[in-house]
Structure 1
Amino acid sequence: MRSYAYLLASVLAFFMAIASALHIEVASSQNPAPVCIRDFVQEEQLVVVSIKTDGKVGDGQRLDLHIVDSIGNEYRRKNDIAGTLKVAFTSHHNAAFDVCFTNFLDRKYNENNKVFREVELEIESGSAARDWNAVQAAEKLKPVELELRRVQELTTEIANELQYLKGREERMRDTNESTNARVQWFSIGVIISLVGLGVWQIQYLRHYFKIKHII
């Protein structure tokens, strides 16, 4: 049973590592557009963003980093990054966040020469972002116990995510039902108004024709 749990934890960790690692090329320009990678994070969750770039400071390119969520919370802004950089923060809300790179080209260089920076990006959140070596040393856990602990926390995160999605679906269903009820009453009001307007027009025309002695 322990060997099966250890194998399961290893497979999960392997696929999580594959899914989170990205290699991107950020083109350099004098008026560049940001290149952003979006991920979703739960409230009060630890996030670690590991960045590795080629090039160096002063090579004619200035690579800027900006991390912000969809609500507007800014977690990190750093200009002219190069080499290896690691950013850790705790999320404030259940929201998507963007890791954006903007690569400015020095004006003394010809913009026709296509240059870019290669960026290796890895985003870890929740249990994947924790320093499990420190946890193992602090709590004196065996390797199998450590893997079981990781699987337990990962399972808890998945359960919390499902609970959040369930609550969101309930809110959306309530909104849809409320909207349908309002549309229904609005439609009834429009029909009553049209019927009343039609009756009034008939009465007005009858009165008009009587005055003119047409009928």
Structure 2
Amino acid sequence: MRMFNGNLILLLFIGFLSIAKGLRFEIEAKQEANPEPFCIRDFVNEGQLVVINIDSDGRIGDGQKLNMFVRDSTGNEYRRKNDFAGALRVAFTAPSSTAFDVCFVNSGATGMVRSVELDIESGSEARDWNQISANEKLKPIEIELRRVEELSDEIVDELAYLKNREERLRDTNESTNRRVRNFSILIILVLAALGAWQLNYLQNYFRSKNII
């Protein structure tokens, strides 16, 4: 019973992750020369397949010009599409573990809007499981178990990455604390030495003037 509950929780958690990346939003048109883009950021691990499905309402020539581009934090641009409407699919394989942005810019008369649906899938979620099932002749339950297994492995890898990152950040924090402590001790010693020197200088000065 405990094993069943654990599997059920895992399946619910995986299902939540699968739908959490589906977004629907509206982008207002702007008449500015270089309007600020509206961006959605996600993170991908090295070698993972990323599939981005975009669907917008409206049509080309309706007074709005919706542009889109996908770019990662290292400056690589994977796709750029200007003045589009309807469905658009972008797929790429991440060359490294990095964050990437899906950005939109809508140009047109003030008050006009475009509604956009965005779905980002990566890793096992982005694979064409129907094609895999047809090629390997797998049953529905077999393909679902395989999908869950691959997604579970990705979650374990992500947790391991987060653990390693936390360890690196903790080491950096401890190193910074040691440097701050040593610097504080050095400042105290310098101030103490400066105070002793000033005291000695004033004593010698007063003695030379026969004040003391």
Same fold? TM cut 0.5: yes
Q: Which secondary structure state, in structure 1, belongs to the residue aligned with residue 20 of structure 2? A: helix
Matched with 1:102 is 105
Partner of 1:19: 20
Do 1:35 and 1:101's aligned partners in 2 also have CA atoms closer than 8 Å?
Answer: yes
* Residue aligned with 1:66, SS: strand
| CA drift at 1:136 | 1.0
Task: Give how far 1:146 is off.
Answer: 0.7
1:9/1:148 contact within 8 Å kept: no
Corresponding residue for residue 93 of structure 1:
96
What residue in structure 1 maps to residue 191 of structure 2?
194
Ranges in structure 1 where 5+ consecutive residues have no aligned partner: 106-110
Q: What number of residue pairs does the alignment pair up?
A: 207
Amino acid at match of 2:167: E
Q: Quote the residue 2:135 is aligned against.
A: 138
**Contact 1:6/1:147 (<8 A) preserved:** no
2:54: which partner in 1? 51
C-alpha separation in 1, matches of 2:8 and 2:131: 22
Q: CA deviation at 1:7?
A: 7.7
Partner of residue 164, structure 1: 161
- Which moved further from structure 2: 161-170 or 90-99? 90-99
| Shift, 1:214, TM fit | 0.4
Please give the alpha-carbon distance, in whole angstroms, between the structure 1 residues aligned to 2:93 and 2:148.
Answer: 21
Is 176-185 or 70-79 further displaced after alignment? Answer: 70-79
1:108 maps to none
Specify the SS of the correspondent of 1:124. Answer: strand
| C-alpha contact (below 8 Å) 2:44/2:122 kept by paired residues | yes
Unpaired runs of 5+ in structure 2? none
TM-score by length of 1: 0.89
Structure 2 distance, partners of 1:73, 1:209, is 72
Taking the aligned partners of 1:13 and 1:177, their CA distance within structure 2 comes to 35
Secondary structure of the residue aligned to 1:176 is helix
AA aligned opposite 1:132: W
Superposed CA deviations along residues 115-168 of structure 1, whole A, max 9, x for unmatched, are 111111111111110000111122221111111110110010001000100110
1:39 to 18, 39, 42: 42
Counterpart position of 1:122: 119
Aligned-residue offset at 1:57: 1.5
Question: Partner of 1:71 in structure 2?
Answer: 74
**CA apart distance, 1:41:** 1.5
> Taking structure 2 as the reference length, what is the TM-score of the superposition?
0.90
CA contact (8 A) 1:127 1:153 kept: yes
